[in-house]
Chains A and B, each alone.
Chain A
Amino acid sequence: MERERKKYLELSLCCVAAAMTVQGCGASSDSQKIEIEIVQYKPEAANYFKVVEEEFNATHDDIHLTISSPNDAMTILKTRFIREDYPDIIGIGGDINYSYFVDAQILTDVSDYEGIKDINQGYLDIAESLELVPVDGTYILPYVANAAGILYNRDMFAEHGWQIPETWDELMALCEEIQAEGILPFYFGFKDTWTCLAPWNAMAVALAPADTAKQVNKGQTTFTDEYRELSEKYLALLPYGPDDPFAYSYNDACTAFARGEAAMYAIGSYATPQILSVNPDLNIDSFVMPASNDKESRTLNSGIDLGFCVMDGCENKEAAYEVLDFLYADENIQKYIDAQNAVPCKTGDFQLSSMLDGMLSFIEAGNMTDYQDHYYPSEMAVDAQLQTFLLEQNVDAFLSKFDTDWQRYNRDIIRMVKAYEENNTEAENYEK
Chain B
Amino acid sequence: MKNTTTAVKPNKTAMVLLILGLSTIIFPLYMTIVIAFKQPSEMTNSISGILSLPKAWSLNNFREAMEVTDFWNSLRNSMVISVLTVVLSIILHSLMGYTLGRNKKSKVYNFIYLFIVSGMFVPFAILMMPLAKQTAELGLANWFGVILLYVVFYMPMNVMLYSGYLTNIPLALEEAARVDGASTWRTYWKIIFPIMKPMHATVAVITALAVWNDVMTPLVIMAGSSQNTLPLAQLNFQSQFGTNYNLAFASYLLSLIPILIFYLVCQKQILNGVVNGAVK
Binding site for B on A (CB under 8 A): 1, 4-5, 7-8, 11, 15, 18-19, 22-23, 39, 42-44, 46, 68, 70-72, 75-76, 78-80, 82-85, 87, 194, 251-252, 255-256, 259, 261, 270-271, 273-274, 277-280
Q: Contacts of B180 on A, CB cut-off 8 Å?
A: none
Partner of B132, one of A42, A72, A82, A274: A82
Given the interface pairs A15-B84, A15-B87, A277-B41, the reply to whether A44 lies near B186 with Cβ below 8 Å is no
Bound CA–CA A76/B241 (angstroms): 19
Note all chain B residues with C-beta closer than 8 A to A78.
Answer: 129
Which residues in A have their C-beta under 8 angstroms from that of B220? 75, 79
- Chain B residue numbers with a CB within 8 Å of A194 are 240
What residues make up the interface of B, taking CB atoms closer than 8 Å to A? 40-41, 43-45, 76, 80, 84, 87-88, 91, 128-129, 132-133, 135-137, 141-144, 147, 183, 185-186, 189, 219-220, 223-224, 226, 232, 235-236, 238-245
Instruction: Assess the A83–B141 pair: CB atoms within 8 A.
Output: yes
> Is A23 a contact of B144 with CB atoms below 8 Å?
yes
A81 to B216: give the CA distance in the assembly, Å. 17
Per the bound structure, the CA–CA distance linking A271 and B144 in Å amounts to 39
| Chain B hits for A252, CB < 8 A | 45
Task: Check if B223 sits within 8 Å of A4, measured CB to CB.
Answer: no
Query: Of all chain A residues, which has the CB nearest B129?
Result: A82
- How many Å from the CB of A368 to the closest CB on chain B? 20
Rounded to whole angstroms, the CA-CA distance of A259 and B41 in the bound complex is 10
**Majority secondary structure, A binding face:** helix
- Could you list some 12 contacts between A and B, CB below 8 A? A1-B186, A5-B185, A19-B144, A23-B144, A43-B235, A44-B242, A71-B236, A83-B141, A277-B242, A277-B244, A278-B40, A278-B41
CB distance from A367 to the nearest CB of B (A): 25
Known: A15-B87, A44-B241, A72-B235. A22 touches B80 (CB 8 A): yes
Say whether A4 contacts B189, CB under 8 Å: yes
A78 to B143, CA, bound (A): 19
Given contacts A15-B84, A76-B219, 7 further A-B contacts (CB under 8 A): A46-B236, A71-B235, A259-B45, A270-B241, A277-B40, A278-B43, A279-B41
**Do B239 and A43 touch across chains, with their CB atoms under 8 A apart?**
yes
> Cα distance A255–B44 when bound, in Å?
6
A83 touches B132 (CB 8 A): yes
Would A11 and B183 be within 8 Å (CB), given that A71-B238, A255-B45, A278-B43 are in contact? no
The 6 closest A-B pairs by CB, nearest first: A83-B136, A71-B235, A274-B242, A79-B132, A76-B223, A277-B40
Q: Given A71-B235, A72-B235, A80-B224, verify A251-B41 contact (CB < 8 Å).
A: no
With a cutoff of 8 Å between Cβ atoms, the chain B residues found around residue A15 in the complex are 84, 87-88
Q: Which residues of B contact A84 (CB under 8 A)?
A: 136
CB neighbours of B129 from chain A (8 A): 78-79, 82
Query: Please, which residue of chain B has its CB at the minimum distance from the CB of A45?
Result: B239
Tell me if A4 and B44 are in contact (CB < 8 A): no
Task: Give the shortest distance, in Å, between A318 (CB) and chain B (any CB).
Answer: 23
Cross-chain contact A87 with B243 (CB below 8 angstroms): no
Distance between B65 CB and nearest chain A CB, rounded to angstroms: 15
Query: A270 CA to B239 CA in the complex, in Å?
Result: 11
Determine the distance from Cα of A272 to Cα of B236 in the docked complex, in whole angstroms: 19
Question: What residues of A have a CB within 8 angstroms of the CB of B185 in the complex?
Answer: 1, 4-5, 8
A72 engages B219 (CB within 8 Å): yes
Residues on B with C-beta less than 8 A from A273 are: 241-242
Q: Return B274 CB to nearest CB of chain A, in Å.
A: 27
Contact A70 B223 (CB under 8 A): yes
Q: Is the CB of A44 within 8 A of B239?
A: yes
* Most A CB within 10 A of own CB, among B44, B143, B224: B224
B242 pairs with A19, CB closer than 8 A: no
A71 touches B239 (CB 8 A): yes
A255 touches B80 (CB 8 A): no
Distance of A214 Cα from B241 Cα, bound (Å): 28
Which residue of chain A has the shortest Cβ distance to B142 in the bound complex?
A23
Minimum CB–CB distance for A151 against chain B, Å: 13
Tell me whether B224 and A68 are in contact (CB under 8 A).
Answer: yes
Contacting residues, chain B, for A46 (C-beta < 8 A): 236
Instruction: Known contacts A4-B189, A79-B223, A273-B242; decide if A23 and B143 are in contact (CB<8 Å).
Output: yes
Complex contacts, A5 vs chain B, CB 8 Å: 185
- Name the A residues within 8 Å of B238 (CB-CB): 71
B80: chain A residues within 8 A (beta carbon): 19, 22
Which of chain B's residues have a CB closer than 8 A to the CB of A23?
142-144
Chain A min CB distance to B26 (Å): 24
B residues within 8 A CB of A278?
A: 40-41, 43-44
**Residue of A whose beta carbon sits closest to that of B131:** A79
- Chain A residues, CB < 8 A from B136: 83-85
CB distance from B251 to the nearest CB of A (A): 14
* Chain A: minimal CB distance from B2 (Å): 41
Minimum distance in angstroms from A201 CB to a CB of chain B: 15
Q: Collect the chain B residues with CB atoms within 8 Å of residue A279's CB.
A: 41
Q: Which of A11, A46, A76, A82 has most chain B Cβ within 10 Å?
A: A82
Nearest-Cβ distance from residue B233 to partner chain A, whole angstroms: 9
Kindly provide the distance from the CB of A171 to the nearest chain B CB, expressed in whole angstroms: 25
How many angstroms between the C-alpha atoms of A75 and B235 in the bound complex? 13
Residues of B within 8 A of A79 (CB): 128-129, 132, 220, 223
A271 close to B241 (CB less than 8 A): yes
Q: Is the CB of B132 within 8 A of A259?
A: no
